[in-house]
Chain A
Amino acid sequence: RKEVEQDPGPFNVPEGATVAFNCTYSNSASQSFFWYRQDCRKEPKLLMSVYSSGNEDGRFTAQLNRASQYISLLIRDSKLSDSATYLCVVNVGNTPLVFGKGTRLSVIA
């Protein structure tokens, strides 16, 4: 089983739609969780950290379920500029980050 699994997509959604991405991780000792965004031919950039209590940043909401080892990202009112690949990332202590393969999102006008 892969350490971090994501649905690769692509998710093709119209502008204004709400879209949710899911991610599961295999290592129960994982301590830190992130969503990164990667545009084509660019480096990944941190979108948001994910906390057990859940957190929201504008149109983006991240949730963590430690019991199910499951992370989610919800994007409301999708914009064309949201089109990118979204990477689920976990970390176990002071070790390198582990990346999922990413979920591709295309927001269509």
Chain B
Amino acid sequence: GAVVSQHPSWVICKSGTSVKIECRSLDFQATTMFWYRQFPKQSLMLMATSNEGSKATYEQGVEKDKFLINHASLTLSTLTVTSAHPEDSSFYICGGGGGTYEQYFGPGTRLTVT
């Protein structure tokens, strides 16, 4: 299957700081990437759809000014959690592909905000 990398794999930051997570498709071009968040014992919740060269589409209840998404190239999408708070602590996963095809996920980024 296709390969998606994510960086960093885990990060601890202080409340009020910003954290950037990178998602790269290594062997395919991704015009669309999906960003998910998963809390413990919960399912993946789609946060936003990242579109190369245009604005991201956010799901209801997700603050676009807090979770900044940039998809400047066909192989890189970034999610920046701005002014992070402890309640933002979660497992963030990006995915590429999808539609009628299987989706490939990055290994995830575990964010802990203290």
Contacts and interface: CB of A to CB of B under 8 A. Distances in A.
Given A93-B100, A100-B43, 5 more contacts: A43-B106, A91-B98, A91-B100, A93-B99, A96-B98
Nearest to B94: A43
Contacts, number: 47
B54 interface: no
Contacts of A93: 99-100
Task: Sort A-B residue pairs by CB-CB distance and give the 5 closest, nearest first.
Answer: A43-B105, A101-B43, A94-B99, A46-B102, A99-B44
A41 B91 contact: yes
Q: Give the secondary structure class of B's interface.
A: loop
Contacts of B104: 46
Contacts of B105: 43-45
Given A99-B44, A101-B43, A102-B43, A43 B107 contact: yes
A75 to B, nearest CB: 20
Chain B, interface size category, equals 20 to 34
Contact of B43 (A34, A41, A87): A87
Contacts of B43: 87, 99-102
A3 B103 CA distance: 19
A109 B68 CA distance: 46
A97 B99 CA distance: 7
Interface in A28-56: 31-32, 34, 41-46, 49
Interface of A: 31-32, 34, 41-46, 49, 87, 91, 93-97, 99-102
Q: Give the secondary structure class of A's interface.
A: loop
A52 to B, nearest CB: 14
A101 B42 contact: yes
A99 B91 CA distance: 15
B110 interface: yes
Contacts of B44: 44, 87, 99
20 contacts: A32-B100, A41-B91, A41-B110, A43-B105, A43-B106, A43-B107, A45-B105, A46-B102, A46-B103, A46-B104, A49-B102, A91-B98, A91-B99, A93-B100, A94-B100, A95-B99, A96-B49, A96-B98, A99-B43, A100-B43
